Chains A and B, each alone.
Chain A
Amino acid sequence: MSKIIIGRYIPGDSLIYKMDPRGKLLATICFIFFIFLANNWITYSITVFFSIVAILATRLRIKVLWDGIKPLIWLIFFTSLLQLFFTTGGTTYWQWTIFTISSYGLTNAVYVFIRFTLIILISTVMTLTTMPLEIADAMEWLLSPLRLIKVPVDKIALVMSIALRFVPTLFDQVLKIMNAQRSRGADFSSGGLIKRAKAIAPLLVPLFISSLETAIDLSTAMESRGYRGSQGRSRYRILKWSKYDLYNLSYFVLLVGLLLVFRTH
């Protein structure tokens, strides 16, 4: 349960932490798109360099970032291998039935590997340095144009923030129920697939019931505290741009600029 990526925020106060979550979220999303501008050794080197600087700026231990990549490492290798064996063109070094290793394939495999790894690293940088709640706030801001087409963005945002707030409560509850059922002789970790699936009912039913109770209690509490929909509500938590976001923006523009100049047209 400790491997859950979401909410793996690590408190800190380096430069990156001071940036507005909206800027960080936007930069991360744009990064995922603009990385495709890189198409030769120079542009890939530039991207790697920029990413390493960004990672160093978090001042987090490298191990924490590695934990972010570890679960996906096989997927990264697998995708790279597909590229390696199935891309044709350039000089062919080796061939067997449908598998080919060519110079194009080799380059592509390396590119895909770099691209994939960087995307995960940069996303991890964002989630590690931004509180889940701030990410929710940033998403609300990002979604706010949808208000025009009557999407209840405020409600979605409230639901997101409440859901995040109850994640630890839910984990506590799971642990508590598991302990109680284990004491009654339930076994969650052995036996075949069917036995394990059966063993899950004593866990899921109480969890469902307690979540339902929480939801009812919570809605009662919210209503008695004067919640009547998002109309006319004011906001306590607001986001503010600062000079750090200017750094974020300039850094990003510089990267895109360099990519545009040095990419193969």
Chain B
Amino acid sequence: MSIEFKNVNYVYSPGSPLEKKGLDNINFTIKENKFITLIGHTGSGKSTLMQHFNALLKPTSGEIKIAGITITPQTKNKNLKELRRRVSLVFQFPEAQLFENTVIDDIAFGPKNFGYTDEEAKELAGKWLEKVGLPAEVATKSPFDLSGGQMRRVAIAGVMAYQPDVLCLDEPAAGLDPQAKAQMMQLFLDYQKEGHTVILVTHNMDDVAEYADDVLVLEHGKLIKHGSPEEIFSNPSWLKEHYLDLPTATKFANQLTNYDFAETPLTLNQLVQGISKNVKE
């Protein structure tokens, strides 16, 4: 199965003086069960696109196929529950969505909404509490007594607990310290390897290089490029033209003027291998 966008347009406040094009004729097909990254500047339409994945926004025109469900401008709000169970979004700073008295109840909120019984929901919640790396004793605590980083984990557990087919995350590691971030990225990578689609909205090109199978680049509501990280980062002048950064390793490699890399290194490991090859030959 695949995620398909066909001629998708979205217009904010149509007919009013504030009318603004959010998405401009977006077309792409991506295979599911991949790690996908979505990049572009603030205001490029990333978050508008993301909200189309589970029909928080419906296209003004065009058609979307995702997780076996089709979304059109005519899609009724009533029929969205199944879509939202299969496709879930994690917004930036998701700790802002916590509200229950206890951590376990908060994680169980989503599963309960999507038809699990109370016991099942609690059981899932307990399991995911552990998976996101929190100790079991926080289950009965108020989420508001936790540290910011722990709250973030609770919020993410609350979305992963009903195991959506497609998990879309907007800068999930923003503001976390590097070790917490690395753990979290590993969690998403494992989830993808288990057979789910992960879509990561990010500004961090190192993450794109490290994790992505497929990259979507947005600018002014248009999809300006779609390809593998190798394809995206192989053209520094094109990136510069669109004010996009290169991964740190690539930038470094490009400054090693008298080195010859068979393939442009995107990650630290590739860079080390490339340097070794050059030096030892």
Contact = CB atoms under 8 A, between A and B. Distances in A.
Contact of A201 (B84, B89, B99, B110): B99
Given A185-B84, A202-B109, A180 B99 contact: no
B99 A183 contact: no
Interface in A185-204: 185-187, 189-190, 201-202, 204
A184 B94 CA distance: 11
Interface string B85-109: 1001111001011110000000001
Nearest to B78: A190
Contact of A183 (B77, B88, B96): B88
Residue among A179, A185, A186 with most chain B CB within 10 A: A185
Nearest to A201: B99
Nearest to B13: A2
A181 interface: yes
Contacts of B114: 185
B85 A183 contact: no
B95 to A, nearest CB: 9
A212 to B, nearest CB: 10
A59 interface: no
B159 A183 contact: yes
Contacts of B77: 189
A179 B144 contact: no
Contacts, number: 60
Contacts of A209: 96, 144
A181 B99 CA distance: 10
A182 B98 CA distance: 13
Contact of B96 (A184, A185, A190, A206): A206
B56 interface: yes
Main secondary structure of the interface of A (DSSP, over half): helix
A176 B91 CA distance: 8
Interface residues of A, number: 21
Given A183-B88, A184-B158, A185-B81, A177 B56 contact: no
B97 A184 contact: yes
Contacts of B81: 185, 187
Nearest to B85: A185
A181 B112 CA distance: 13
B252 to A, nearest CB: 37
B54 interface: yes
A184 B78 contact: no
B110 A184 contact: yes
A210 interface: yes
B75 interface: no
Interface string A154-192: 000000000000000000010011011111111101100
A176 B56 CA distance: 11
A203 B84 CA distance: 18
Contact of A202 (B94, B99, B144, B159): B99
A138 to B, nearest CB: 26
Contacts of A190: 78
A69 B89 CA distance: 40
Contact of A206 (B78, B88, B98, B113): B98
Contacts of A210: 96
Nearest to B110: A184
A72 B196 CA distance: 52
Contacts of B90: 183
B56 A183 contact: yes
A205 interface: yes
Given A176-B91, A180-B91, A185-B110, A206 B97 contact: yes
A177 B84 contact: no
B264 interface: no
A206 B91 CA distance: 14
B159 A184 contact: yes
Contacts of B85: 185
Interface string A196-234: 000001101110011000000000000000000000000
A135 B199 CA distance: 46
Given A183-B54, A183-B84, A184-B158, A176 B99 contact: no
A204 B97 CA distance: 10
A179 B88 CA distance: 11
Given A185-B85, A209-B144, A180 B94 contact: yes
26 contacts: A173-B96, A176-B96, A177-B96, A180-B89, A183-B54, A183-B56, A183-B88, A183-B90, A184-B84, A184-B88, A184-B110, A184-B158, A184-B159, A185-B84, A185-B85, A185-B109, A185-B110, A185-B113, A185-B162, A186-B113, A187-B113, A190-B78, A201-B99, A204-B99, A209-B96, A210-B96
Given A179-B56, A183-B90, A185-B162, 11 more contacts: A179-B51, A180-B96, A183-B89, A183-B91, A184-B97, A184-B113, A184-B158, A184-B159, A185-B114, A187-B113, A202-B109
